[in-house]
Structure 1
Amino acid sequence: MGSVGQKLNVLGTALQKCSRPGGPTTGFYRDGCCTTGEGDYGRHVVCSRMTQAFLEFTRSRGNDLSSPAPQYGFPGLRPGDFWCLCASRWQEAFESGAAPQVVLESTHEAALRYCKLEDLQENAFVEDTIEL
């Protein structure tokens, strides 16, 4: 994959931040990026824009991302928020027709171990009015 130390996205270019100003700080390391490492067993690498359909889908699978969990510093997500999802959960949602849009520039290349680039591209979020 990428050279040592360089974080690449699924397009093979430099990984961009997923978090947005005013939104929750995402990432396994809560650094705003969908980076991954040894302890990230869920591979939180797919930068997605939350939808009500996905939030309901993931809640039905036992992962409630809508409810705040202050003990973990988690604010709870709303439609429109950007969040680094587990690649396998995004793929499961895709296969069920509930996948949220993906910010390709902010999705870590490790997602390609679980998701097809074509599937991610089919659900690409086009950034036209959002400033990073």
Structure 2
Amino acid sequence: MAEKQTTPHGGKNVLGGPLAPCCTSPVTGYYRDGFCHTGKGDAGVHTICAEMTEEFLVFSRSRGNDLSTPVPEFEFPGLKPGDRWCLCAPRWKEAYDAGMAPRVLLEACHMSSLEFASLEELREFAIEE
């Protein structure tokens, strides 16, 4: 059995294990390396690996962040339902509070996410793989 790839940055996930990749098609992450790790310059804290839904994409657009429209100059392909993406932790929590949160891949959510959402909240939306 092949071992899962983990972040080259040594980050930990919300479960305390090594940070797993979120998505490479489209390539996500603040650093566009497929991982939801964070660092200096990531003011949005892009640490929650979420699976997009139409409802969440509409919600995010209504809050001023259109995730559906491509923005090539920022290497952003535009998202569709089913895509996985490293979301800003405060936006995910806002969606959670509004009843619009997308599902998350816990192994790929950086531990910094816990500054915005509890592990219990994230577990409610966990993707089983």
Partner in structure 2 of residue 109 of structure 1: 111
Aligned to 2:81, what secondary structure does the other structure show? Answer: coil
Identity over aligned pairs, percent: 55
Residues paired across the two proteins, number: 121
Q: Deviations over 1:42-86 (max 9, x none)?
A: 100000000000000000000000001122221100000000000
1:16 and 2:31 are equivalent in the alignment: no
Give the alignment's Cα RMSD to 1 decimal: 0.9
Q: Deviations over 1:23-60 (max 9, x none)?
A: 20000000100010011011000000000000000000
Q: 2:49 aligns with which of 35, 47, 50?
A: 47
Give every structure 1 segment of 4 or more consecutive aligned residues whose post-TM-superposition deviation is greater than 2 Å. none
> CA shift at 1:6, angstroms?
2.7
Q: Which runs of 5+ in 1 are unaligned?
A: 128-132
One-letter amino acid of the counterpart of residue 103, structure 2? Q
Partner in structure 1 of residue 11 of structure 2: 7
One-letter amino acid of the counterpart of residue 124, structure 1? A
Distance 2:37 2:97 in 1: 24
Partner in structure 2 of residue 121 of structure 1: 123
Q: Which runs of 5+ in 2 are unaligned?
A: 1-8
Partner in structure 2 of residue 70 of structure 1: 72
